[in-house]
Amino acid sequence: MKPAPFAYRRPRTLDEAVAALAGTPGAKVLAGGQSLVPLLSMRLAAPAALVDINALPDLDQVRCDEEGVRIGALARHADVLASADVRRVQPLVALALEHVAHPTIRNRGTTVGSLVHADAAAEMPMVLRLLGGSVDVVGPSGRRTVAADDLFVGPLESSVASDEIAVEAFFPALRAGVGVAFREIARRHGDYALVGVAALVDGESVRVGYLSVADLPTVVDLSGVPEGELGERALERLDPADDIHASADYRAHLVRVLTAQVVASARELAA
């Protein structure tokens, strides 16, 4: 239960961090570490080096404007959740963050880190995808924006290259007349969700995001689907699995129930 040895760099500027990452083969970026450190301790990951970005300036900012919410790579979940501006500009970000782990984990864990960790059982990757957000990354060849649909490529695998650092996430604002809702079921509040579902209703368009019931954070278009068939139709695109916490059948049941609930809530808010 102790990490394997690794080299450690603590750069003071983004340029230094990019150089350190590029110059150290097998290096990984350390931000909040709430997913990475357990992986190190259980030796499921053994990077040759860590580039700790916690001393970089200005990355802890959370900025909101009419376009949306921009979250810096060192903004802790707790800070994003505490922001009244975030809740106003895109309520779904706050609704989902309330379910991200326990408050103690949210005090250290970062929202951007959770995105690039790309866990299909995590809330924020699914929300980024449902809202059509993006992540900005910086590497040796400069800065680029990765759309959410291109970010998640496999279980715990993002399309951020090994020499790139994710510096900012963008969640588009909630527009007038659009409704959003989020629900999840976990054994205890704060534990990993058995199933989590979010809905975005915009006029006739009904899109629903799912976590913990597929290998990737998944969004299903349910526009035009009759009320009583929403969950069933979504399950055609999902793959609920058995584990120690819940059976596949129970997860499918939760998909049916929660899909109907979140679509109804989002519809109500959109009206």
Partner 1 sequence: MSATEPEERHDVVLHVNGAPHAVRVPARRLLSDALRHDCGLTGTHVGCEHGVCGACTVLVDGRPVRSCLMLAVSAQDVQITTVEGLTEDDGTPQGKLGPVQQAFADCHGLQCGFCTPGFLTTITAGLRDNPDPTFEEARDMIAGNLCRCTGYQNIVASVLRAAELARSPVVEEVAQQPSRDPGGNA
* Least gap, CB of 101 to partner 1 (angstroms): 8
In sequence order, which ranges of 5-74 are alpha helices (DSSP H)?
A: 14-23, 36-41
Q: How many CB atoms neighbour CB 221 within 10 A?
A: 13
Rounded distance between C-alpha atoms, residue 123 and residue 142, angstroms: 29
* Least gap, CB of 193 to partner 1 (angstroms): 15
* Least gap, CB of 2 to partner 1 (angstroms): 7
Contact pattern for partner 1 over residues 37 through 66, marking x by CB under 8 A:
xx-xxx-----x-x-x-xx-----------
Give the residue with the Cβ less far from partner 1, 124 or 128: 124
Torsion sign (Cα): 81, 87, 90, 96? positive
Total residues at the site for partner 1 (CB under 8 A)? 33
**5 belongs to the binding site for partner 1 (CB under 8 A):** yes
Q: How far lies 267's CA from each of 131, 141, 218, 220, in Å?
A: 16, 44, 20, 16
Rounded distance between C-alpha atoms, residue 93 and residue 235, angstroms: 24
3-state secondary structure of 37: helix
Q: How many CB atoms neighbour CB 57 within 10 A?
A: 10
* Least gap, CB of 184 to partner 1 (angstroms): 15
> Computed over its alpha carbons, how large is the radius of gyration of the chain?
19
Q: Using CB under 8 A, which of 6, 19, 60, 265 touches partner 1?
A: 6
Rounded distance between C-alpha atoms, residue 255 and residue 144, angstroms: 35
Q: Using CB under 8 A, which of 8, 25, 57, 247 touches partner 1?
A: 8
Contact pattern for partner 1 over residues 179 through 208, marking x by CB under 8 A:
---------xxx------------------
- How much of the chain is in helix, strand and coil states, percent to nearest 5? 35, 30, 40
**75 belongs to the binding site for partner 1 (CB under 8 A):** no
Residue ranges in 93-112 that form contacts with partner 1 under rule CB under 8 A: 101-105, 107-108
**16 belongs to the binding site for partner 1 (CB under 8 A):** no
- Interface residues with partner 1 (CB under 8 A)? 1-8, 10, 30, 33-34, 37-38, 40-42, 48, 50, 52, 54-55, 78, 101-105, 107-108, 188-190
